[in-house]
Chain A
Amino acid sequence: DAGITQSPRHKVTETGTPVTLRCHQTENHRYMYWYRQDPGHGLRLIHYSYGVKDTDKGEVSDGYSVSRSKTEDFLLTLESATSSQTSVYFCAIRNSGLQNTEAFFGQGTRLTVV
């Protein structure tokens, strides 16, 4: 199994508070991704990274920021959480930019904003 860990696994937070989710990998993979999963919407890409300090927006990036200061860590920050950001968040990693390289996923983080 790919070494990818998300923390925390569950979090309840109040509207307006900042929240940071962490994705940690031990595989030295170049690409890292943050997705949110909501019923009826499937998995939607928030942001992804293609190297240290190299990130790009996904489909639903508003209200989220990311940082990658080390190869192994990719942080997702909700600057001011809203109830619409209640979701399950998945991190994924890929070894290379070759198209046939599959992504490996973390266990997910269930975030509830009250």
Chain B
Amino acid sequence: AQKITQTQPGMFVQEKEAVTLDCTYDTSDPSYGLFWYKQPSSGEMIFLIYQGSYDQQNATEGRYSLNFQKARKSANLVISASQLGDSAMYFCAIIGNQGGKLIFGQGTELSVKP
């Protein structure tokens, strides 16, 4: 079974600063994948970034990067140069070896201050 824990219910960041959203996971699968999604106040779910457990490098997508520390079972999302439009809920998710069951965490609400 897989589990995701996001321990920061809410966070604030100043515009143009970087912010790290924490995600820890638990799985017994030797191979797994980790996702981050963004949910603005409008409600849609937007895929941001993916990290595979055997990927040699940390994933990056524009201003988003993933700080993947396999031994610590953490997959933190780093947003550089925060923008007002980054204010949203952010969800971390994991998928296991079988590739079917996709499990999400509780989410972190990020507020970007001008």
A residues adjacent to B (C-beta < 8 A):
31, 33, 35, 40-45, 48, 50, 56, 58-59, 88, 90, 92, 94, 96-105, 107-108
Contact = CB atoms under 8 A, between A and B. Distances in A.
Given A40-B9, A42-B105, A42-B107, A98 B99 contact: yes
Nearest to A104: B47
A99 B101 contact: no
B33 A43 contact: no
Interface of B: 6, 9, 31-33, 35, 43-45, 47, 50, 52, 91, 93, 95, 98-107
30 contacts: A33-B102, A35-B104, A41-B106, A42-B91, A42-B104, A42-B105, A42-B107, A43-B91, A43-B93, A43-B107, A48-B101, A48-B102, A56-B100, A56-B101, A58-B101, A88-B43, A90-B45, A92-B102, A94-B102, A96-B99, A97-B98, A97-B99, A97-B100, A99-B95, A99-B99, A100-B33, A102-B47, A104-B47, A105-B44, A107-B43
